[in-house]
Structure formats: structure tokens, C-alpha cells
């Protein structure tokens, strides 16, 4: 069973850990937070980092198990939760209610999601200042941030 502690038992473990950390920066961030860099976590990171579409935890599990059959669903959920806390992935809410995840944008960007193939495209700008101001004035809320997702069909699915 995988633990959440960074224990290096021998030189081979250290070399394996160095290899993993150099392969993807998310693994280094997990390691800095005290998480062991296991093959299961590596498979989850590789799966979500390589995807251009938002993946549900079950899709991450099914895909990552192809390269790491010993992967457990609990590890997928825990790893996704930690990656989201580190702000390297972001949660995507879908019309069907199932939440999915995609590599996070490094800027303040919004999402376009294809309702057919699931492809995610980031876009900048939203000109919501007037709307946010009006809502703030009407409700008395001090709005600090916003999040925008648009759903439709990508060029390939039209």
C-alpha cells in the first residue's frame, strides 16, 4: 500500500526518485509536499499532464492503469486532490454534473469545452467588469474572483 511519506530506503530508490523528479515538474512539487514518488503517482501525473481534454477520475484511472496496472482508485483521487491544491491542475465542471480535471493555465484564462470530444481550449479576456460591478452593487457582495466556462463544439466536431 502506498504511503504519503518521502522515505528513501536505499540508493536505488534515490536514483529512481531523481529520475522521476527530472521527468515532470509536478512530481517535484508533490515530493516537496512530502508525498512519495511512486509509479502509481507518476502514472496519474503523466496521464493528466498529457491530456488535451478534461478527464474524470475514472478516465484517469482507466488510462493510467494501462502503464501501471497496480494503480488504485484511491491513489488517483488523492493525487488529483493534491495536484489541484498545488494549482497545477484545475477542476472542470461539466453539464452532466461529473467533475473532470485538466492541466491548469498559468494565467487568468477561461475554458472552452467541446461537448462532443471533451477537448479543452483556454482563452483570455472576458470583459465582465461591467456585469461584475452591477452584480456587486445589486447584491452587496465584494466579488474577488470569477471563473468562466463555455460549452460548445470544437472545429473538428462541428
91 with 15, same domain: the answer is yes
Whether residues 67 and 112 share a domain: the answer is no
- The residue segments making up the domain with residue 122 are 108-152
Residue ranges in the chain modelled with pLDDT below 50: 1-22
Q: Is residue 29 part of a domain?
A: yes
User: Is position 113 within any domain?
Assistant: yes
pLDDT at res. 113: 87
Helix residue ranges per DSSP H, the chain: 11-23, 25-32, 39-50, 57-67, 73-85, 129-139
What is residue 69's predicted lDDT score, i.e. its pLDDT? 95
* Predicted local confidence at residue 67, as pLDDT: 92
Q: Is residue 137 one of the residues assigned to a domain?
A: yes
Q: What is the pLDDT of residue 56?
A: 93
Is 118 domain-assigned? yes
Amino acid at each position: 500500500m502506498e504511503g504519503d511519506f518521502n522515505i528513501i530506503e536505499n540508493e536505488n530508490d534515490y536514483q529512481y526518485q531523481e529520475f522521476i523528479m527530472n521527468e515532470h515538474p509536478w512530481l517535484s512539487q508533490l515530493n516537496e509536499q512530502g508525498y512519495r514518488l511512486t509509479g502509481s503517482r507518476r502514472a496519474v501525473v503523466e496521464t493528466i499532464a498529457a491530456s488535451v481534454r478534461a478527464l474524470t477520475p475514472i478516465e484517469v484511472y482507466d488510462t493510467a492503469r494501462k502503464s501501471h496496472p497496480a494503480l488504485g482508485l484511491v491513489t488517483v483521487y488523492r493525487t488529483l486532490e493534491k495536484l489541484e491544491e498545488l494549482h497545477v491542475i484545475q477542476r472542470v465542471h461539466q453539464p452532466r454534473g461529473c467533475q473532470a480535471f485538466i492541466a491548469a493555465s498559468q494565467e487568468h484564462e477561461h475554458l472552452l469545452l467541446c461537448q462532443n470530444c471533451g477537448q479543452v481550449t483556454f482563452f483570455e479576456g472576458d470583459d465582465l467588469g461591467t456585469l461584475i460591478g452591477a452584480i456587486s452593487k445589486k447584491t452587496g457582495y465584494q466579488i474577488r474572483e470569477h471563473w468562466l466556462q463555455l460549452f460548445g463544439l470544437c472545429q473538428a466536431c462541428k
